[in-house]
Amino acid sequence: FYIITQGYTENQGSYFGFFQELAIEANKRGFDVKLICRKIKESEPYNEVRNNVEIIRFSAINLPLLNTIFNELSLAYRIKNYFKKSEIKNSDIVIGNGYTPMGAPKGYFLRAPDQPALVFLKGLETAKNEVSVLSRIVRRLHFSLCYIFDKIIIKNSGGVIFSSTENKDLFEQYYGVKNKPYFIPNKPVNSRYYLQRRDYNNKRFGENQ
């Protein structure tokens, strides 16, 4: 059972908490679970085992411009090489969050991004008088590349997990997502994830964040 996500810190909120619970539950049901992500902090180990879940981290690339884009591409490259060596089987389950499964074999389950990149591009037009020309150029380039990523992850997925009906409708509207199995959780995200994440951010950035 492979879980691919942007990063992972145990007992932190937001999607970290969701994937932690998913990994532990899959392990309880008899799966050999591997969680693949990038290193968020230099102190994080490349490999470790927690709650019988193997966590595999790859180094991130830090560049002043378009840092997120280069991080996604470098992670995709490392994940592609990882799966080439791991000899993935047809019976294996792969769940990827956002753009992270770009390097995974086709047929994975995709947890779709919260909004299609085209929604952000439309928002740039609305706010064009509020930001500098350079900022508009960089943001347009950023979200144009994200649009390409959106198309790749949707096309190569075998099924999609949408966060809500609105999330599903947006992807159908902008990308014509049809004839793919999909799942929409019928429970809201547990509020404690957000509280844990808030406490973590307060410790890291200060109480005003």
% of the chain with per-residue pLDDT over 70: 80
d(CA 75, CA 80): 8
pLDDT at 174: 83
- Half-sphere exposure (CA, 13 Å, Cβ side) for 202? 9
pLDDT of residue 20: 83
Read off the pTM. 0.78
**Placement of tokens 């180094």 in the chain:** 59
* Size of the chain in residues: 209
Q: How far apart are CA 168 and CA 3, in angstroms?
A: 21
Q: What is the mean pLDDT of residues 10-30?
A: 79
Residue 133's pLDDT is 77
* Spatial distance between the Cα atoms of 95 and 103, rounded to a whole number of angstroms: 12
Higher pLDDT among residues 104 and 86, named by residue:
104
Q: Which phi and psi angles does 49 have, rounded to 5°? A: -125, 125
